[in-house]
Structures are given as C-alpha cells and as structure tokens.
C-alpha cells in the first residue's frame, strides 16, 4: 500500500531526538528557542513563537488580539475545521466566503462583500500550499472606506487601526509570494507541524509575527511566551537558575508550549527543507505530466508569476463527474493499494456548521471544488516507481468509473 503522507523519520531525526532526550532537558528549552530563531530567519518574519499546534497558537493569538463575542472573522468556506473552530471558541462568529474559480483560495471580491463594522480579522488559508492573494487583501483592508468602518475593540486593534490580516499557513511553509516567504506575507501567520504537514514535529506549530513597525516584536514575543505558559512570568528553564524559583502568574494563560523533543525533529526537518521542497516539486511536475493528455484531468495551480507553492497537496480534479462518481473513483484507487484523500469537505457540509446555519448552496465554487477533488500522495520518500503507480491507479480508476 502506498501511504498518503508518512513522516520522514530517519537516523538523523532519531539521533537528534535521542540527543534531546539525553540532554536532561525535554520540555521548552534551548532546542525550541533555536527552532524559533531558525524559523524567523527562514520565513523573514519579525518574531516566531513555537507552540504545540496550529490550533492552540491561533487560539492564543485571537485571545491576545482581543477577538471576542460580537466580533466577526472572515474565513474561506473551504478549509480544515480548525480555522473556524478557534473563532467559535474565542466566542466570535466565523463568516465564510466562497473561493476563486482559478485556485482553492478565498475570493477577495467575496471578502469585500462580507466586511461589516464587526469584522476584526480576515483569515486567509493557503490551501494546498499556494499563497492566498495577500497584496489584494492588504490593499482592501487599507482602503479608507474599509478602515473608516473599523471599530477597534482592544488596545492592539486600535494601535493597528484596521482589520488584522491573518494567514492560516498550515500548508504553505516554504511557499513564496512575490519573492517573500510564507510567514511574512500577513500580519500574523500560523504554521502547523502536525505529522502530515510538509515540515513536522509530530504535533506542533508556530506563530510568525510580521506586524507594522509601530509594534515592538520583542515585547510581543515575551508576552506570547507568558500567554502560552499559564501566564507565568518565568518558564521552567528560567526557574532552574539558582535562587530563581519564585514566579508570578500575571493572568490566567493557556498551556501550549512546544517541547525540546518536538523541536529536535523540527530542527532536522528545517535544516534539510529545501531538499524536501525539491522532491515535492518533482512529484507535482510528474503528476502534471502524467495527466497532461487526459481530457478529464483538471490540474491544480501551483506556480504563477507571483506565487510558488510549498507543494503540500496535489489537488487533482476530475472534470464532469458527480460527488458519487468521485467517491467510486477513490474506492477504485484504494483497491489498487494507493492511498488518496479529499481536501476538504467544505465547512457548511459539517454538522457543527450546518447547525450554525451555514448552507452549502451559498458556496457553489467550494462545492464544485470538493465534489470532484482527489488529493494524491506527496512526500519526500515517494519513489519514482511509486509516482508511476499512483498515476496508473488514478487513470485505471477514472476509466473504469467514467466508461
């Protein structure tokens, strides 16, 4: 069976994790701090806070930014549930918009129509690894009329004086947009280092801050480190210093710091990340070449003049099929021992969001994308032979179901 997205665990990773375990320090410590510095350098953002998942990082950010009941946050209808769940937990209301026709990202014209005086944030999602339209989004929230409509509800919100642009960069580590890397494309970006993501720490995440110059990013880093550790003004490592046991709790914080065991995996992964991206790109190109002559194949957009994907998900679509036929094709692919997936079931299809009044009919583009989409395996250890097997399995399955 060709798996969908196994992690790359080899002797290098095992050696670094072992070194962390033997070091006598396994929770947040020198490896986590180094990992944060390396991410800041790689992405070009102003400061990075490592956390235990995308989800908790975003949850803390929404709290930090003062997003609360009565506020609205705009997200695409087509994303993983985490993007919306954190907004609900913050007490705010997710406002969903439909996608572009040309790619899987949120449509800026639809975003414009969704902005109200209650809008506090826009969370763009880089689906599959292709950056959203950050320049257009930034221009939009800086328009005098949109800015004039903005009602700041916290000191930070007033200091920024406009809607904050957040990036759900769970898929896009290493992606580029006009020469800048994901992590530095929005005011704040959040990465996921979950086991299936391009770069993994088993579970983990990072918030990359890139706010305008009136914000002191050293202060933000220090405050965030407190927020992710119960509001304690000293972390466990600082407390081990001689006579430094006493601490205070400044506010009831969260608990979602990254451990040095996780960071050990991340340090190795980041060190050889270009190699990973190169392999993924080759896999994408091979799939595109493999399906080039098939009239039913709609290939995903992964390189444009402005954007280069991180090659996270190969979102193949099959023209002219129904949702049922897509499901049959997936079954036929699995019968040939190849694992595939669907990214994503749009949020209005899920019980939790149906119950909140969202209707799939309001998002025709998201439904059209979902109904005929099949995500193919992409990972560093996928061999050339595996790639050929995947291509054949898809062709066989499509021909069987369509004919």
Ligand X SMILES: *Cc1c(COP(=O)(O)O)cnc(C)c1O
Provide the minimum distance between the beta carbon of 306 and ligand X in the complex, in angstroms, as a whole number: 21
Size of residue set near ligand X by CB under 6 A: 14
Binding window for ligand X (CB under 6 A); candidates: 91-99, 165-173, 296-304, 382-390? 165-173
Binding window for ligand X (CB under 6 A); candidates: 6-14, 53-61, 144-152, 301-309? 53-61
Of 123-162, which residues contact ligand X (CB under 6 A)? 125
Considering the rule CB under 6 A, would residue 164 count as an interface residue with ligand X? no
Provide the minimum distance between the beta carbon of 386 and ligand X in the complex, in angstroms, as a whole number: 23
Q: How far apart are CA 120 and CA 65, in angstroms?
A: 9
CB atoms within 10 A of CB 217: 16
Q: How far apart are CA 290 and CA 212, in angstroms?
A: 44
Q: Does 399 sit behind a cis peptide bond, omega within 30 degrees of 0 on the bond before it? A: no
**Burial (0-12, 13-18, 19+ Cβ within 10 Å), 252:** exposed
The distance from CA 200 to its chain's CA centroid, rounded to whole angstroms, is: 12
Could you say which of 25, 35, 42, 54 contacts ligand X (CB under 6 A)? 54
Could you say which of 110, 120, 181, 194 contacts ligand X (CB under 6 A)? 194
Provide the minimum distance between the beta carbon of 127 and ligand X in the complex, in angstroms, as a whole number: 7
> Contact letters (x/-) for ligand X, 245-284, by CB under 6 A?
----------------------------------------
Q: How far apart are CA 274 and CA 255, in angstroms?
A: 32
Could you say which of 205, 253, 266, 290 contacts ligand X (CB under 6 A)? 205
Provide the minimum distance between the beta carbon of 344 and ligand X in the complex, in angstroms, as a whole number: 8
Considering the rule CB under 6 A, would residue 369 count as an interface residue with ligand X? no
Could you say which of 79, 100, 182, 201 contacts ligand X (CB under 6 A)? 79
Residue placing its CB nearer to ligand X in the complex, 50 or 330: 50
Phi, psi dihedrals of residue 6, rounded to the nearest 5°:
-75, 150
CB 349 within 8 A of CB 356: no
Of 171-190, which residues contact ligand X (CB under 6 A)? 171
Could you say which of 170, 175, 265, 267 contacts ligand X (CB under 6 A)? 170
Residue placing its CB nearer to ligand X in the complex, 208 or 391: 208
Q: How far apart are CA 363 and CA 352, in angstroms?
A: 17
CB atoms within 10 A of CB 311: 28
Binding window for ligand X (CB under 6 A); candidates: 36-44, 101-109, 168-176, 244-252? 168-176
CB 60 within 8 A of CB 224: yes
CB 376 within 8 A of CB 2: no
CB 65 within 8 A of CB 121: yes
Residue placing its CB nearer to ligand X in the complex, 35 or 80: 80
- Residue 170 DSSP SS3: coil
- Residue 402 DSSP SS3: helix
Could you say which of 53, 172, 184, 308 contacts ligand X (CB under 6 A)? 53
Considering the rule CB under 6 A, would residue 168 count as an interface residue with ligand X? yes
Could you say which of 80, 177, 314, 353 contacts ligand X (CB under 6 A)? 80
**Burial (0-12, 13-18, 19+ Cβ within 10 Å), 245:** exposed
Residue placing its CB nearer to ligand X in the complex, 157 or 309: 309
Q: At what angle do helices 260-271 and 11-22 cross, to 10 degrees?
A: 150
Residue placing its CB nearer to ligand X in the complex, 84 or 318: 84
Provide the minimum distance between the beta carbon of 170 and ligand X in the complex, in angstroms, as a whole number: 3
The distance from CA 155 to its chain's CA centroid, rounded to whole angstroms, is: 27
DSSP E strand stretches across 178-332: 180-181, 188-192, 205-209, 297-298, 307-308, 314-318
| Contact footprint for ligand X (CB under 6 A) | 53-55, 79-80, 82-83, 125, 168, 170-171, 192, 194, 205
């Amino acid at each position: 069976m060709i798996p969908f997205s196994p992690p790359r665990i080899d002797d290098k990773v095992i050696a670094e994790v072992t070194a962390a375990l033997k070091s006598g320090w396994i929770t947040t410590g020198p490896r986590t701090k180094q990992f944060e510095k390396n991410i800041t350098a790689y992405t070009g953002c102003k400061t990075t806070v490592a956390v235990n998942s995308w989800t908790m990082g975003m949850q803390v950010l929404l709290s930090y930014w003062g997003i609360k009941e009565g506020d609205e946050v705009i997200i695409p209808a087509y994303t993983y549930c985490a993007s919306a769940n954190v907004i609900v937990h913050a007490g705010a209301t997710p406002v969903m918009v439909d996608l572009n026709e040309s790619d899987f990202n949120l449509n800026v014209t639809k975003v414009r129509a969704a902005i109200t005086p209650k809008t506090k944030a826009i969370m763009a999602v880089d689906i599959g690894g292709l950056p959203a339209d950050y320049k257009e989004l930034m221009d939009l929230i800086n328009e005098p009329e949109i800015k004039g409509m903005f009602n700041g509800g916290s000191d930070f919100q007033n200091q920024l004086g406009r809607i904050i642009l957040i990036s759900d960069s769970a898929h896009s580590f290493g992606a580029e947009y006009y020469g800048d890397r994901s992590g530095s494309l929005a005011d704040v970006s959040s990465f996921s280092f979950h086991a299936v993501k391009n770069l993994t720490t088993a579970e983990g995440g990072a918030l990359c801050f890139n706010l305008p110059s009136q914000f002191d990013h050293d202060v933000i880093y220090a405050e965030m480190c407190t927020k992710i550790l119960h509001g304690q003004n000293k972390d466990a490592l600082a407390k081990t210093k001689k006579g430094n046991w006493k601490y205070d709790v400044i506010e009831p914080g969260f608990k979602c710091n990254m451990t040095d065991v996780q960071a050990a995996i991340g340090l190795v992964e980041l060190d050889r990340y270009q190699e990973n991206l190169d392999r993924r790109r080759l896999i994408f190109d091979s799939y595109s070449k493999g399906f080039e002559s098939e009239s039913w194949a709609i290939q995903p957009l992964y390189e444009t003049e402005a954007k280069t994907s991180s090659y996270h998900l190969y979102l193949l679509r099959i023209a002219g099929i129904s949702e049922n036929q897509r499901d049959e094709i997936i079954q036929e692919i699995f019968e040939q021992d190849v694992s595939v997936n669907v990214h994503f079931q749009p949020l209005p299809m899920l019980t939790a969001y149906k119950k909140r009044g969202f209707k799939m009919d309001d998002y025709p583009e998201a439904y059209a994308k979902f109904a005929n989409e099949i995500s193919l395996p992409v990972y560093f250890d996928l061999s050339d032979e595996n790639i050929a097997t995947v291509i054949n399995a898809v062709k066989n399955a499509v021909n069987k179901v369509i004919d």
